[in-house]
Amino acid sequence: MLLNVKEESVKIYNTTMDYVVFGKGMKPLVIIPGLSLKRVKGAGYSLAYMYKIFAQDYRVYIFDRKEAVTEEYNVREIAEDTAYAMKELGISKSHMFGVSQGGMIAQYLAIDYPELVEKLVLGVTLSRQNETVKNAIETWIEFAENKDLEGFIEDMLFKMYSPSYMKKYRMLIPLMLQMSKNVDLNRFTILAKSCLTCNTYEELHKIKCPVLVIGGKLDKVVTGEASEEIAEKLQCEIYMYEELGHAAYEEARDFNERIYGFFQKS
C-alpha cells in the first residue's frame, strides 16, 4: 500500500520547502500538519503509515514550512509559500486537510487560492484568536526561549492529550526529550508566534468549496468553540469529539476515516 514514499524539497524563492509524497492514486491530497518540534524531513514513512488510508486513492503531499523563516513570518505568508510550492509541483483542485496551525494555513489557501482547493477538512483549528490559544502559545514560546525542553514537552502533552492517553504514554517523555535535543528552537519560536497572526473569521465567506470541520470539545489549545464557530460561519458539516481535545487527530481511531469519507462523497 505505501508505495513510492519519497522525501523531497521544492525551491521557494531563495530557499526550499520539504515535503513527503506517497500513494498511487491520481487525485492530489495535500496535508498541512500543525506546529511541531518535529520536521517532515526524516518522518516520511511514519507519516505515510499515519495516513495510509489515503494511499490507494490519492497522491498524498505533506508539506513542511519553508526552510528559511524570519521574524514577523505570518500564517498568510506561510499559505502563500505553500501555494507557490503546490503550483511548482503542478498541484491544483486538491483535496486538502489542515490540522491545528495547518488548518489556519489551509483556510488562507482556500480564501486566496480557491483554484488549489476542491474540498477542505479543518481539524482542531481556529479562525481568530482567543485567550486560550494565546496563553498556550505564549507559554510554549517562553519554554523554547528558555531552552526548557522538558517543561515544554510536559506542558504540550498536558494541553493536547486526554488524561487517559497521558497516563498510558507519560513514560515516553524521556525518549521525546532525547529525540528533541537538536531541534531548532528559534525556528519553532518564529512559527509559534505566527499562529497568533491567524484572523480569517471575517473572510470565511470567501471559502466556496465543501468543508468539514472536526474538533475536540475539550481542546485546551484552540478550544472546541473555535471549531464550532468556523462551522457556524461556513454553515458546513462538523463533527466534535466530546471526550477528546487538541490531539483528537491522533487519539481518535476514526479521525482519518471521517476525512476519507467526506472526501469520497460526490
- Give the three cell numbers for residue 232: 457556524
- Per-residue pLDDT of 109-148, as tens digits, reads 999 999 999 999 999 999 999 999 999 999 999 999 999 9
Q: What are phi and psi of 199, to 5 degrees?
A: -155, 75
pLDDT at 177: 67
**Hey, how many other C-beta atoms are within 10 angstroms of the C-beta on 169?**
13
Q: At how many degrees (to 10) do helices 75-88 and 101-112 cross?
A: 70
CB 82 within 8 A of CB 113: no
Provide mean pLDDT across the span 147-155: 89
Is the alpha carbon torsion for 39, 44, 47, 51 positive or negative?
Answer: positive
pLDDT digits (tens, 9 = 90+) for 192-246: 999 999 999 999 999 999 999 999 999 999 999 999 999 999 999 999 999 999 9
Percent of the chain residues topping a pLDDT of 70: 95
More confident residue, 4 or 170: 4
Structure confidence by residue, pLDDT tens digits, 13-67: 999 999 999 999 999 999 999 999 889 999 999 999 999 999 999 999 999 999 9
In whole angstroms, give the CA distance from residue 162 to residue 226: 18
Instruction: Read off the pTM.
Output: 0.95
User: β-strand 15-22 against 27-32: which pairing, if any?
Assistant: unpaired
pLDDT at 85 over 60: yes
User: CB 145: neighbour CB atoms within 10 A?
Assistant: 12
The burial class, CB within 10 Å (0-12 / 13-18 / 19+), for 71 is exposed
Burial (0-12, 13-18, 19+ Cβ within 10 Å), 209: middle
- Is 70 exceeded by the pLDDT of residue 1? no
pLDDT cut 90: percent of the chain above it? 86
Region 157-170: mean pLDDT is 84
